[in-house]
Amino acid sequence: MKTTIALLLIPFSLWWAEARTITWEDLKDVKFSRKFVKGEDMYFLFPAFGEKVKKLNGQALQIKGYMIPVDPEDKIYVLSARPMASCFFCGAAGPETIIQLNLKNRKKFRTDEIWTVRGRFRLNAENLDECNYVLDECEPVLKH
């Protein structure tokens, strides 16, 4: 029984050990087009991901950035290439400069704390309730 459990844990451990470190520069291979969404009665930016970004889809990745609270009560955060004062939500950057964090374990972070996080990278081109870049099974690795 102990051997079976140990064997099941090895692939999971190796998956995290193989997490590739990326930078925000790696996520710039994307173009956006403005489209009207009738159901929302407004325009949204829809991504056309480039080949470099498409190759990252589904990969175990880690990246360093600024924690931005979306809903701190529900512990919903995004990681940003820039601090809150100049992030995407304030209009000073594009949607490619934030990653939605689907945290494995709920945790509270302070605005603009700098963290390296890791998770399974996922591209989102259609779901308006999520960011274009998502880290599933995300966990904080290092506070800077």
Q: What domains lie within the chain, and their CATH numbers?
A: 20-143 (2.40.50.870)
Q: Which of 87, 27, 17 is nearest to 63 (CA)?
A: 27
Residue 116's identity, in one-letter code, is: T
Q: What is the pTM of this model?
A: 0.84
Per-residue pLDDT, 1: 52
How does pLDDT run along the chain (144 residues), one tens digit per residue? 554 444 455 454 444 567 999 999 999 999 999 999 999 999 999 999 999 999 999 999 999 999 999 887 777 899 999 998 887 777 778 889 999 999 998 888 999 999 999 999 999 999 999 999 999 999 999 999
Per-residue pLDDT, 17: 62
Q: Which of 119, 124, 123 is nearest to 135 (CA)?
A: 119
